[in-house]
Structure 1
Amino acid sequence: MADGSLDSEAFSRLMGDLRPSLHRYCARMVGSAFDGEDVVQDALAKAAAAYPGAGAIERPDRWLFRIAHNTALDALRHRKRHAVLGADDDLGDVTDLAAETDVRVAATASLAVLLRLPVAQRSCVALVDVLGHSLDETAELLDFTLAATKAALHRGRVRLKDLAEAPEEAPPRLDPAERERLRAYADRFNARDFDALRALLSEDVRLDLTNRTRLDGRKDVSVYFTRYDATAGWRFEPGLAEGRPALLVSDPADPTAAVRYVVLLDWRDGEIAAIRDFLYAPYVMESLAVERG
Structure 2
Amino acid sequence: MENLGARLDHGGTGEAVGAMSNLQSLGERSRELRSEFEHLVEPNRRPLWRFCLRLTGSAWDAEDLSQETLLKALGGLYRFGQVLDPRAYLFRIASNTWIDQQRRSRPTAELDTVEDLPAAAAPEASSNLSDAMEMLVRFLPPRQRVVFLLIEGFEFQAREVAAMLRLTDGAVKALLHRAREALHQARQSPNMPASPPTAANKLVAAYLDAFNRRDPEALAALFDPQATNYIVGDWEEQGVETMKKYSLHFWKAEPAAERAEYRRLLARDVVVVTTRLPDGSEALWSVIELELGTDRVLGHRWYFFCPEFLEHAAAELGLPAATHGYFYKDPT
Please classify the TM superposition score into its range, dividing by the shorter chain length: 0.7 to 0.9
Q: Is the 8 A contact 1:29 1:115 kept in 2?
A: no
**Whole-Å separation in 1 of the counterparts to 2:280 and 2:175:** 43
2:150 is paired with a residue whose SS is: helix
**2:264 aligned residue (201, 221, 240):** 240
**Whole-Å separation in 2 of the counterparts to 1:135 and 1:217:** 48
After the TM superposition, which residues 208-223 of structure 1 pair with which residues of structure 2 at under 5 Å, given as runs?
A: 208-222=230-244, 223=246
Q: Is the 8 A contact 2:262 2:270 kept in 1?
A: yes
**Whole-Å separation in 2 of the counterparts to 1:25 and 1:87:** 23
Deviations 1:167-209 (A, max 9, x none): 322222221244x654543343233233321211110010110
Q: CA deviation at 1:24?
A: 2.9
**Partner residue in 2 for 1:189:** 211
Q: Is the 8 A contact 1:249 1:262 kept in 2?
A: yes
Q: How many residues align?
A: 287
**Partner residue in 1 for 2:300:** 275
Moved more, 257-266 or 5-14: 5-14
Residue 90 of structure 2 corresponds to residue 64 of structure 1: yes
Q: Which has the higher contact order (CA 8 A, sep 6+)?
A: 1
Q: CA deviation at 1:108?
A: 4.4
After the TM superposition, which residues 256-271 of structure 1 pair with which residues of structure 2 at under 5 Å, given as runs?
A: 257=282, 259=284, 261-271=286-296
- After TM superposition, the score normalised by the length of structure 2 is 0.72
**Whole-Å separation in 1 of the counterparts to 2:190 and 2:311:** 24
**Whole-Å separation in 1 of the counterparts to 2:247 and 2:70:** 25
After the TM superposition, which residues 122-161 of structure 1 pair with which residues of structure 2 at under 5 Å, given as runs?
A: 122-160=145-183
**Whole-Å separation in 2 of the counterparts to 1:248 and 1:109:** 28
**Partner residue in 2 for 1:200:** 222
> Gaps spanning 5+ residues in structure 2: where?
9-32, 319-332
After the TM superposition, which residues 159-174 of structure 1 pair with which residues of structure 2 at under 5 Å, given as runs?
A: 159-160=182-183, 162-174=185-197
Deviations 1:79-120 (A, max 9, x none): 12653233151x42123x3x535420x344446852531112
**Partner residue in 1 for 2:322:** none
Q: CA deviation at 1:234?
A: 3.3
2:148 is paired with a residue whose SS is: helix
Q: Matched residues, percent identical?
A: 27
Q: CA deviation at 1:246?
A: 0.8
2:182 is paired with a residue whose SS is: helix
Q: Is the 8 A contact 2:5 2:79 kept in 1?
A: no
CA RMSD of aligned residues (A): 3.3
**Partner residue in 1 for 2:66:** 40
- After TM superposition, the score normalised by the length of structure 1 is 0.80
1:211 is paired with a residue whose SS is: coil
Q: Is the 8 A contact 2:5 2:77 kept in 1?
A: no
- Name the larger-Rg structure: 2
Q: CA deviation at 1:287?
A: 5.9
Moved more, 266-275 or 249-258: 249-258
**Partner residue in 2 for 1:87:** 114
**Whole-Å separation in 1 of the counterparts to 2:274 and 2:217:** 22
> Gaps spanning 5+ residues in structure 1: where?
none
